């Protein structure tokens, strides 16, 4: 089941939360900063051992002090106008996160809106990609949560899910 909710992703009681990280995996601002603050210093140590992560891929660590058992770290594309493979890379983030979750027995998983903060990806187009991949994996998870930070993001996801807004062209 795909659910849209407004909230602070580190607080969610799910098997795995997804982090919108950067290639170093050593923490940053936005949702990444919030997850690291809530999980504690051991998360940073675990991330350091991973040696970074290329854009579009994903790596997993325990959740440490979080209610979530796992954190799946993925690196979204920086928006550069849309002709630099951004849509393909963003879809790859969701796909790799889902596959890692499946490999670790995850049944409930929550995503932030990857790349739509500091990385500047247009929100409607990004939600279109997120929802497409969520639908593809829906049957293999008990709960898939789109965890939105703002009310505006909730309405974007709701309209994409219910087909009231056509997302921008993406692959
Ligand atoms: N819970 C849920 N969503 C959140 C939270 C939260 N606590 N905080 C922010 N968001 P961003 P990016 C939303 O910038 O664009 C970091 O510094 C936010 O409103 O966190 O992928 C990394 O280290 C937005 O919708 O991630 C990278 O350097 C979404 O999360 C870079 O930012 C993503 O915004 C990654 O940029």
Q: Is the pLDDT of residue 170 over 60?
A: no
pTM: 0.96
Distance 101 CA to ligand 1 centre (A): 20
| Ligand 1 pocket member 62 (CB < 6 A) | no
What is the overall mean pLDDT for the chain?
A: 96
**How large is the average pLDDT for residues 138-162?**
97
Confidence of residue 1 (pLDDT cuts 50, 70, 90): very high
CA 121 to ligand 1: nearest atom: 15
Confirm if 35 and 73 have CB atoms less than 8 A apart. Answer: no
Give the C-alpha separation, 63 to 78, whole Å: 26
pLDDT per position as a tens digit, 6-36:
999 999 999 999 999 999 999 999 999 999 9
Q: Does residue 14 sit within a domain?
A: yes
CA 29 to ligand 1: nearest atom: 17
Report in angstroms the alpha-carbon separations of 5 from 1, 98, 123, 161: 13, 19, 16, 13
Domain span at residue 13 reads: 2-161
| Ligand 1 pocket member 8 (CB < 6 A) | yes
Beta strand 108-111 pairing with 16-21: parallel
Give the C-alpha separation, 97 to 15, whole Å: 13
Active site residue 15: no
| Ligand 1 pocket member 116 (CB < 6 A) | yes
* Residue 39 burial by Cβ neighbours in a 10 Å radius (0-12, 13-18, 19+): buried
Q: Is the pLDDT of residue 165 over 70?
A: no
Give the C-alpha separation, 21 to 5, whole Å: 21
CATH of the domain at 118: 3.40.220.10
Distance 19 CA to ligand 1 centre (A): 8
Q: Is the pLDDT of residue 171 over 50?
A: no
| Ligand 1 pocket member 55 (CB < 6 A) | no
pLDDT reported for residue 167: 52
The residue to mutate among 38, 112, 156, having the most atoms of ligand 1 within 8 angstroms of its beta carbon, is 112
Q: Does residue 171 sit within a domain?
A: no
pLDDT per position as a tens digit, 75-125:
999 999 999 999 999 999 999 999 999 999 999 999 999 999 999 999 999
Here the tokens at position 69 are 């058992």
CA 150 to ligand 1: nearest atom: 19
Give the C-alpha separation, 82 to 99, whole Å: 25
Domain count, the chain: 1
Confidence of residue 163 (pLDDT cuts 50, 70, 90): confident
| Ligand 1 pocket member 115 (CB < 6 A) | yes
Q: Is the pLDDT of residue 155 over 50?
A: yes
Q: Does residue 58 sit within a domain?
A: yes
Give the C-alpha separation, 47 to 41, whole Å: 10
């Amino acid at each position: 089941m795909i659910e849209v909710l407004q909230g602070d992703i580190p607080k969610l009681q799910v098997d795995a939360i997804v982090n919108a990280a950067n290639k170093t995996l050593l923490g940053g601002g936005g949702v990444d900063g919030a997850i690291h603050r809530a999980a504690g210093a051991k998360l940073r140590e675990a991330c350091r051992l991973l040696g970074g992560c290329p854009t579009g891929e994903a790596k997993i660590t325990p959740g440490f002090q979080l209610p979530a058992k796992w954190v799946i770290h993925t690196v979204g594309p920086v928006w550069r106008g849309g002709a630099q493979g951004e849509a393909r890379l963003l879809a790859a983030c969701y796909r790799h996160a889902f596959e890692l979750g499946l490999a670790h027995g995850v049944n409930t998983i929550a995503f932030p809106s990857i790349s739509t903060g500091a990385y500047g990806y247009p929100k409607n187009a990004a939600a279109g990609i997120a929802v497409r991949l969520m639908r593809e994996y829906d049957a293999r998870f008990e709960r898939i949560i789109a965890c939105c930070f703002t009310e505006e993001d909730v309405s974007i996801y709701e309209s994409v899910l219910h087909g009231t807004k056509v997302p921008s062209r993406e692959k």
